[in-house]
Amino acid sequence: MALLEIEKLNLSIGGTPILRDIDLQVDAGESVGLVGESGSGKSITSLSAMRLLPQSAKLAGSIRFNGCELTQLSEQRMCHLRGRDMAMVFQEPMTALNPVKTIGSQIAESLQFHLKMSRANTETRVLKLLDRVGLDPAKFSPDRYPHELSGGQRQRVVIAIAIALDPKLLIADEPTTALDVTTQEKILDLLKELAGENKSSLLLITHDLAVVAQMAERVAVMKDGEIVETASTLDFFRNMQHPYSKKLLAASMLKPKAEKTHFEDSKPLMRVDHLVRRYRLPRKSLFGPAQFLDAVNNVSFEIEQGESIGLVGESGCGKSTLARTLLALNKPSDGRVEFLEHDLFGLSKSELRSIRRNMQVVFQDPYGSFNPRHKIGRLISEPLQLLEHISSSQRHRLIAAALEDVGLTIDDADRYPHEFSGGQRQRIAIARAIITEPKLIIADEPVSALDVSIREQVLDLLNALAERHGLSYLFISHDLHVVRAVTDRVLVMYRGKIVEQGVTSQVFDNPQHEYTKQLLAATPDLAKTLEQLEAEA
């Protein structure tokens, strides 16, 4: 029997059509995955079901919940349903909780509002709920504030709020996208367990096919405000119909790179030797000892000429600090970095300038990496000032060559960054990085902000450029699949230390360190999950 039934739902915000003829059904006790890339309208669909849309939204069609037509319901009756019969878990645990209220009071709120529960009863229920979502009340007192918890712990609190009244329908909107993989696995397990236990339905919204394969019984694929395909999970993966679904699947299964293990030049390009980057923490008490944190703790490795080396680790492990130190933007507290056989931090200013042309950088955020006031030509030619005596015709030629290298044309040099899509902007960022013909490119999460279909194209481009120009990469990512697709060797970083390094396929197939094993086990693997599904069927 259908619990949630969306029929012919059309929605526009401020006159712009967002959703077209959405039909979606979630049966009682069923878990449905709603998949799509950013801007496909999947989040808006879920917010429509909760009637939490912005006021300028106009919707037509029907949304029935438990036989009741929600589009006709008064706001007052809707409040009665929300939180009690249907609840929601959001994407951003860091901002989903009110920072000035204790977690206990935020969980208690729906209990008190819907059930008019007494204070004492609420307190015991809150403790039970915290325990249920895996936060031991002895350690995580309800009197704590959100900022005292980590992202994963906060997401557990958000889940506790959602399940407080055993809702019939739980909507989870990208509940793990903002979390590290090891946390993601635990949160997904928790959601699955809770849904199964209460026999409640789960509508899971995600961009990740691997997550859907693990979690959902049925899949609906969204693109540009429409649902293009719906099928049971097994049918979907066995026999998908729509070309977009196929494209999505192809882009999600990245091919491992054919590794290079032999390098012609015997001298390494970069040698990092016992590098330490230490931060001073605020004193905890007036006369207490000074506290330090080694964000980069005694790190040593080498990068060969033409080698692509991956650096994986979870957020806050020190990856970006390491990258900035290698780029000579930060000074290390201890240790050495040799680049092209020069001590990077023993160079004079002008020597440093002349060596900089050999190492460039690509950042994560395709929207933050350009000065919005400059045209593309000016933006990508910025590093050219590291070269001496460049005539304007040479400059023009170099800009054209760099743009062509990344699949754009010289005409694009006259446009502003906001005229380009996220994927194109990342190409422009790469063009800027290669314009001085560097030997090393440090890429800090270069594809993490991109949709999967675009991610694949950018990774192909990076591989092709490495072939063509003999580039070396230090490729930083939290995503193991991505690292496997572009690197020859990999470093695993955990709390400021490199805990394991080796040839990428060997590390992936036969991890030695406990942390690497955890990381690999937690990473959703579409191929493996599909094998399991087939076996069960």
Which residues of the chain form contacts with other proteins (CB under 8 A)? 50, 52, 75-76, 79-84, 87-88, 90, 92, 95-101, 106, 109-110, 113-114, 145, 147-148, 158, 161-162, 282-286, 324, 327, 329, 352-353, 356, 359-361, 363-365, 368-374, 382-383, 385-386, 416-419, 429, 432
Residue 97 makes CB contacts below 8 A (sequence gap 6+) with 103, 106, 146, 154, 157, 158
Question: Which residue's CB is nearer to other proteins, number 247 or number 374?
Answer: 374
Question: Which residue's CB is nearer to other proteins, number 332 or number 524?
Answer: 332
Instruction: Name the 3-class secondary structure at 284.
Output: coil
Question: Which residue's CB is nearer to other proteins, number 356 or number 489?
Answer: 356
Question: Which residue's CB is nearer to other proteins, number 148 or number 514?
Answer: 148
CB atoms within 10 A of CB 238: 13
Rounded Cα distance, 334 and 276, in Å: 5
Q: State the helix-helix crossing angle for 151-163 and 103-115, rounded to 10 degrees.
A: 10
Q: CB 505 → other proteins: shortest distance, Å?
A: 31
Q: CB 439 → other proteins: shortest distance, Å?
A: 14
CA distances 100 to 97, 105, 130, 141, 278, Å, are 9, 10, 19, 16, 32
Question: Which residue's CB is nearer to other proteins, number 167 or number 268?
Answer: 167
Q: CB 34 → other proteins: shortest distance, Å?
A: 17
The string of DSSP letters for 451-495 reads: -HHHHHHHHHHHHHHHHHHT-EEEEEES-HHHHHHH-SEEEEEET
Q: CB 67 → other proteins: shortest distance, Å?
A: 19
Segment 295-298 long-range contacts (CB within 8 Å, at least 24 positions apart) = 295/321, 295/496, 296/321, 296/322, 296/325, 296/332, 296/496, 297/495, 297/496, 297/497, 298/274, 298/335, 298/497
Question: Which residue's CB is nearer to other proteins, number 144 or number 242?
Answer: 144
Question: Nearest-CA neighbor of 455 among 208, 188, 177, 172?
Answer: 208
Spatial contact of 174 and 149, defined as CB atoms under 8 Å apart:
no
Question: Which residue's CB is nearer to other proteins, number 80 or number 395?
Answer: 80
Question: Which residue's CB is nearer to other proteins, number 88 or number 476?
Answer: 88
Q: CB 235 → other proteins: shortest distance, Å?
A: 32
Q: CB 94 → other proteins: shortest distance, Å?
A: 9
Question: Nearest-CA neighbor of 23 among 227, 284, 189?
Answer: 227
Instruction: Name the 3-class secondary structure at 122.
Output: helix
Q: CB 438 → other proteins: shortest distance, Å?
A: 10
Q: CB 455 → other proteins: shortest distance, Å?
A: 18
Q: Which residue has the tokens 């609190």?
A: 157
